[in-house]
Amino acid sequence: MIVAQTCMLRDLFWKNGQCIRWQMMKRLSKLLYKHCSRKRDIWTANNLSVEDQATPEHMPINVFCFGTLAQEFSDSVEKEDLLFLTGFALVKSPTVKYDKRYICHLELFEEKGSTVFVCKHATAAVHEDVTMNSMKKGENQTVEKNLKYAYSKINELKPGMLANIYGVVTFFKHPFLSKGTDYCSTLTITDQTGGKLSCNLFNEKQDALPQIYKTGDIVRFHRIKIQQFQGELRGITNVGFSALTFDGRMGSPVSPRTSSKSYHFSDEDRRIVEQLRQWTMEQSLILEPTLKLSEVQPQQFFDLICQLVAKAEMDRSSTLLKVWDGTKCLYPIHKVQVDGEVLEGNPALIFELQNISVDIMAYDNHTEVAKCLKPGAYVRIYNLHAKLQASTGSDPQSSKCIEFYLHGGTSYGRGIKILPEDCYDVKELKKVLESAELSSNNYLSDCTLLGISSPLNELADNKEKIYTRLERCQEESVTVLTSHQHMEKAPLINVKTCKPPQKFCIRAKVESYEPKRLYQCVKLYCPTCKTLQEVPDEDDIAHVLQEASKKPLNSKLHNMSWYNTVLFDKKNQDVNKIALHFLDFEDVVQDPEKTLILTERVTLNEINQLSRKFGYIILVTSTEEKLTLLDLSAPFLIQGQLRHYGCKHCSDVQDINCLQQLTTHQSWSASTISQILGIHLLHYVFMIKLTLKDETASVDAMLWEEAEKFFKFRAAEVIASEVLQEQLELTMNMLCPKEKNPDTHPWFECCIKSYSSEDQIVSYQIFDTVLAEKI
DNA sequence: GCTTAGGGTTAG
């Protein structure tokens, strides 16, 4: 529990004898603009709408927090939190007409004694008891200590309820894209009461829907809305819905699968899950829909847990999957004729497993997922059909064989799911695959004995297991995600079609990149006005210096109180001198690398020489009465090999005499110097456009804000270092080899976010991704 | 701004 302002529970304000209990519906509503009379109010007022669950019509009310309370509140509150509001003013709402909310709104000011209590992860039902009791007793205790969720039994559900329930999944469909904006998952659950509840779960993110692997899994739903539909009750996602999924097998770890960042899970929850498991087993509720290939009978529909050996795109609506599960089908199996070139997979392994693998045709909506699979992946195929082939030959009995189809559509939960390697089913599968390999090796030795020439003699000696050799086919990416590794990889078509802003993890190839001339990848960026510009080239700088050196030196400005001046003759030109003005002259000999000098009439070449010796060089020119900086087209400060530029739009250049403030070299740095001179420093940044492509689409993604983290070196260093320039070139050539078919490029996994600019153009940027160490 | 789906086999 977070208390926005210290206050004891017994001090809670009571109105008409009732404590006001609100469930927050929306976080900092976007209606803010509409509600605030002046634009600057936005920064001081937070608006949210809350729903009083006690009112039958679920009428939301607007609440405004002002001043410091607004800030504290917005920092601590999240969707679904339970709020206690005290000391508020009840004001007639001017927005009733269009927001259709409660006729009054609440206004809270800290200075007027308003208080907001924010309670995390609570349910209203339980909260009421806890709060009321606490208040009656006048105890100053936190609510969290007593926080407990109340779960409804399925047969006790009533329309209109916002329920917390546990249940065993008896049916489910994988998340699929609905005709609306969200992904949809349909499932049915039951519990010890025998009641059944079908649910329609929606979320714009596929990963946010419950991760159900099989019927028999156990789910926990919080805040699911119960509705009536065609005479039956339905559960539907509502604001604040959250879900946990558990394996339904007795004895397996009670560890929830969820996309929630935080969730409440107690011993009581563990007990409920274990009781449901026990009950499911006793009832023989779930008929195991999974079969081994050796158990398959013709005409059956079943689930298959297997490893992908190879795949081939047959046409637009069908993909061939060659899989094995370590057992051999007892019936003759139809082999799909496919050109070896289209077949993606290791030819040696395909050959090695030819007698034990089966061909599956995945149709229509399943081709999308099938195409994304990599040989070596472990998958569960739901509702696979072992269809008996129509007889063709003269002897109908003998020619019949089984064809495996994953038909189009989603009925009966039909689909494909990639299984994580550490899941129970995969561990079990590996055991079977391992024992199957022994016999397949026996088969190989027979071949050798019989003198049959085979490319596998060599492989037979290889101790490495076939399934791990297959796993290796899932080529590694040249990049590493620094977080979100658990997120499912989204096809690029999703990235393109989902409304921004969104975040995704993707796996693709770099088809091309821009700019091709890599030195142009580094730009100058002004964090103040957010503009980008090219780094001036040597010619541009030389030109500015040349113009400046046309101005004569002014001896009146030499040897002032805060600098000492030394004049040098230019080569063979007596009249053409350059001037160096030294700050902190005593230190020059001792610590030249810490010295700050102002230079006049120098050439680029001379600057390069001077910068090797002196720490900081500021380029100046003389006027009649003072030294001034050069045009900001040139760098105003040189620090070793680094050239610092100022923003022409944002800088308000100050008199050079301000530099007197710099008393010791301890205070010299690019940022302090630029600050004193009123210059807004431009930052060196990478700006590279990568065209990423997978089977579904191509997307132009910028490598920008996190590019330095990605490459693990700084943009400013690249400008100054030929070694790094070379390294950058090598890296880009590795990501996207020139003159090669993009399909042969390495895999590029990254996190990508979409956002739209003011002019509604959607852009994509790479984040939380770095180059892999080994490359 | 706020619906979407609302289980019940393809027909290759």
Contact A510, A692 (CB under 8 A): yes
Predicted local distance difference test score (pLDDT) of residue A78:
63
Is A500 domain-assigned?
Answer: yes
- Which range is least confidently modeled, A5-19, A198-212, A260-274, A702-716? A5-19
| Residue after which a domain boundary falls, among A88, A109, A137 | A137
Distance A295 CA to B12 C1' (A): 24
Which position has the higher pLDDT, A143 or A115? A115
| Helices A538-548 + A604-613 axis angle, to 10 | 100
Lookup: nucleotide whose C1' is closest to A186 CA: B7
Q: What are phi and psi of A677, to 5 degrees?
A: -85, 0
Contact A691, A510 (CB under 8 A): yes
Q: Centre a 10 Å sphere on the Cβ of residue A254 and count the other Cβ atoms it contains.
A: 16
Predicted local distance difference test score (pLDDT) of residue A3:
28
Contact A764, A700 (CB under 8 A): yes
Structure-token pair, residue A293: 């290939």
Please write the tens of the pLDDT for every residue from A285-327.
Answer: 888 789 999 999 999 999 999 999 999 999 989 999 999 999 9
A568 and A669 share one domain = yes
Contact A597, A610 (CB under 8 A): yes
A324 and A453 share one domain = yes
A634 and A649 share one domain = yes
- Which range is least confidently modeled, A159-173, A630-644, A655-669? A655-669
Q: Is the CB of A236 under 7 A from strand B?
A: yes
Lookup: nucleotide whose C1' is closest to A187 CA: B7
Amino acid at A197: L
Is A261 domain-assigned?
Answer: yes
Predicted local distance difference test score (pLDDT) of residue A391:
63
Residue of A296, A355, A290 whose CA lies nearest to A322: A355
Residues 505-534 of A with CB under 7 A from strand B: none
Output the 3-class SS for A417-461: EECCCCCHHHHHHHHHHHHHHHHHHHHHHHHHHCCCCCCHHHHHH
Is A353 domain-assigned?
Answer: yes
Exposed / middle / buried, residue A17 (Cβ in 10 Å: 0-12, 13-18, 19+): exposed
Predicted local distance difference test score (pLDDT) of residue A16:
26
Distance A170 CA to B8 C1' (A): 13
Which range of A88-97, A327-336, A346-355, A571-580 scores highest in mean pLDDT? It is: A327-336
Distance A631 CA to B12 C1' (A): 73
Q: Is the CB of A186 under 7 A from strand B?
A: yes
Q: Is the CB of A414 under 7 A from strand B?
A: yes
Q: Is the CB of A387 under 7 A from strand B?
A: yes
Distance A30 CA to B2 C1' (A): 14
State chain A's maximal CA–CA distance in angstroms: 114
Sign of the C-alpha dihedral computed for residues A733, A739, A741 and A744 taken in this order: negative
Please write the tens of the pLDDT for every residue from A677-699.
Answer: 999 999 999 999 999 998 778 99
Predicted local distance difference test score (pLDDT) of residue A468:
85
Contact A689, A707 (CB under 8 A): no
Q: List residues bridging with A189 in a β-sheet.
A: A169, A197
Q: Centre a 10 Å sphere on the Cβ of residue A697 and count the other Cβ atoms it contains.
A: 15
Q: Is the CB of A188 under 7 A from strand B?
A: yes
Residues 25-54 of A with CB under 7 A from strand B: 30
A481 pLDDT above the threshold of 50: yes
Query: What is the Rg, in whole angstroms, of the alpha carbon atoms belonging to chain A?
Result: 35
Lookup: nucleotide whose C1' is closest to A227 CA: B6
- Whole-angstrom Cα distance, residue A402 to residue A399? 10
Distance A49 CA to B2 C1' (A): 16
Is A148 domain-assigned?
Answer: no
Q: List residues bridging with A91 in a β-sheet.
A: A105
Protein-covered nucleotides of chain B (CB closer than 7 Å) are: 1-12
- Which range is least confidently modeled, A111-115, A234-238, A264-268, A654-658? A111-115
A497 and A613 share one domain = no
**What DSSP element (H or E) covers A689?**
strand A688-693
A126 pLDDT above the threshold of 60: no
Lookup: nucleotide whose C1' is closest to A172 CA: B7
Tracing tokens 């004569």 back to the chain, one arrives at: A552
Q: Is the CB of A301 under 7 A from strand B?
A: yes
CATH of the domain at A94: 2.40.50.140
Domain containing residue A361: 293-467
A667 and A712 share one domain = no
Tracing tokens 């829907």 back to the chain, one arrives at: A209
Q: Is the CB of A190 under 7 A from strand B?
A: no
Q: Is the CB of A234 under 7 A from strand B?
A: yes
Residue of A168, A141, A165 whose CA lies nearest to A153: A165
A451 and A310 share one domain = yes
Distance A127 CA to B6 C1' (A): 33
Predicted local distance difference test score (pLDDT) of residue A663:
67
A583 and A617 share one domain = yes
- Which range is least confidently modeled, A47-51, A160-164, A378-382, A613-617? A47-51
| Residue after which a domain boundary falls, among A627, A646, A679 | A679
A476 pLDDT above the threshold of 60: yes
Predicted local distance difference test score (pLDDT) of residue A40:
28
Predicted local distance difference test score (pLDDT) of residue A486:
66
Q: Is the CB of A180 under 7 A from strand B?
A: yes
Burial A269-295 (b: 16+ CB within 10 A, else e): beebbeebbeebeeeeebeebebbbee
pLDDT, chain A, mean: 80
- Whole-angstrom Cα distance, residue A600 to residue A618? 9
Give the confidence band of A274 by pLDDT, cuts at 50, 70, 90: very high
Number of domains, chain A: 5
A499 and A457 share one domain = no
Could you check whether the bond before residue A552 is cis, i.e. omega within 30 degrees of 0?
A: no
Lookup: nucleotide whose C1' is closest to A98 CA: B1
Residues 358-377 of A with CB under 7 A from strand B: 363-364
Predicted local distance difference test score (pLDDT) of residue A562:
85
Please write the tens of the pLDDT for every residue from A526-564.
Answer: 999 999 999 998 899 999 998 888 888 888 888 888 888
Contact A236, A219 (CB under 8 A): no
Distance A490 CA to B3 C1' (A): 23
A465 pLDDT above the threshold of 80: yes
- Whole-angstrom Cα distance, residue A26 to residue A3? 20
Residues 485-504 of A with CB under 7 A from strand B: 499
Predicted local distance difference test score (pLDDT) of residue A137:
38
* Protein residue minimizing CA–C1' distance to B3: A180
Please write the tens of the pLDDT for every residue from A374-416.
Answer: 899 999 999 999 999 876 555 555 567 999 999 999 999 999 9
Which position has the higher pLDDT, A708 or A10? A708
Which position has the higher pLDDT, A49 or A602? A602
Predicted local distance difference test score (pLDDT) of residue A463:
58
- Which range is least confidently modeled, A241-245, A253-257, A668-672, A702-706? A668-672
Contact A288, A322 (CB under 8 A): no
Q: Is the CB of A95 under 7 A from strand B?
A: no
Structure-token pair, residue A696: 């579904």
| Backbone dihedral region for residue A67 (phi beyond 0: left; psi -120 to 50: alpha; all else: beta) | left
Predicted local distance difference test score (pLDDT) of residue A431:
95
* Protein residue minimizing CA–C1' distance to B11: A407
Q: Is the CB of A409 under 7 A from strand B?
A: yes
Lookup: nucleotide whose C1' is closest to A199 CA: B6
- Whole-angstrom Cα distance, residue A65 to residue A35? 12
Over residues A128-157, the mean pLDDT reads 57
Is A473 domain-assigned?
Answer: no
Distance A372 CA to B12 C1' (A): 21
Distance A308 CA to B10 C1' (A): 23
Distance A323 CA to B4 C1' (A): 35
Give the confidence band of A95 by pLDDT, cuts at 50, 70, 90: confident
User: Measured between alpha carbons, how far is residue A91 from residues A19, A67, A95, A106, A452 in Å?
Assistant: 18, 18, 11, 6, 92
A328 and A463 share one domain = yes
Lookup: nucleotide whose C1' is closest to A229 CA: B6
Predicted local distance difference test score (pLDDT) of residue A100:
67
Give the confidence band of A589 by pLDDT, cuts at 50, 70, 90: low
| Backbone dihedral region for residue A274 (phi beyond 0: left; psi -120 to 50: alpha; all else: beta) | alpha
| Residue after which a domain boundary falls, among A662, A679, A696 | A679
Is A142 domain-assigned?
Answer: no
Over residues A651-668, the mean pLDDT reads 81
Distance A244 CA to B1 C1' (A): 29
A163 and A220 share one domain = yes
Distance A183 CA to B2 C1' (A): 14
A689 and A752 share one domain = yes
Q: What angle do CA A681, A686, A689 make, to 5 degrees?
A: 140
Distance A342 CA to B11 C1' (A): 27
- Name the percent of chain A lying above pLDDT 90: 45
Predicted local distance difference test score (pLDDT) of residue A118:
62
User: Measured between alpha carbons, how far is residue A657 from residues A562, A598, A626 in Å?
Assistant: 9, 12, 8
Interacting residues of A621 by C-beta distance below 8 A, sequence separation 6+: A548, A551, A600, A601, A627, A628, A629, A630
Is A259 domain-assigned?
Answer: yes
A219 and A96 share one domain = no
- Which range is least confidently modeled, A25-29, A124-128, A186-190, A508-512? A25-29
Tracing tokens 């070379």 back to the chain, one arrives at: A726
Q: Is the CB of A67 under 7 A from strand B?
A: no
Q: Is the CB of A184 under 7 A from strand B?
A: yes
Residue of A53, A73, A50, A70 whose CA lies nearest to A61: A50
* Protein residue minimizing CA–C1' distance to B10: A407
Which position has the higher pLDDT, A277 or A24? A277
Give the confidence band of A340 by pLDDT, cuts at 50, 70, 90: confident
Structure-token pair, residue A210: 């419950």
Tracing tokens 């209606």 back to the chain, one arrives at: A31
Over residues A156-177, the mean pLDDT reads 94
Structure-token pair, residue A20: 């006001």
Contact A196, A226 (CB under 8 A): no
Which position has the higher pLDDT, A472 or A601? A601
Residue of A424, A190, A198 whose CA lies nearest to A285: A190
Predicted local distance difference test score (pLDDT) of residue A30:
31
**pTM of the entire structure?**
0.54
- Whole-angstrom Cα distance, residue A599 to residue A90? 68
Give the confidence band of A357 by pLDDT, cuts at 50, 70, 90: very high
Is A611 domain-assigned?
Answer: yes
A417 pLDDT above the threshold of 80: yes
Please write the tens of the pLDDT for every residue from A37-94.
Answer: 332 232 223 444 454 443 434 566 777 777 666 766 665 666 666 666 666 777 777 7
Residue of A588, A640, A636, A644 whose CA lies nearest to A616: A640
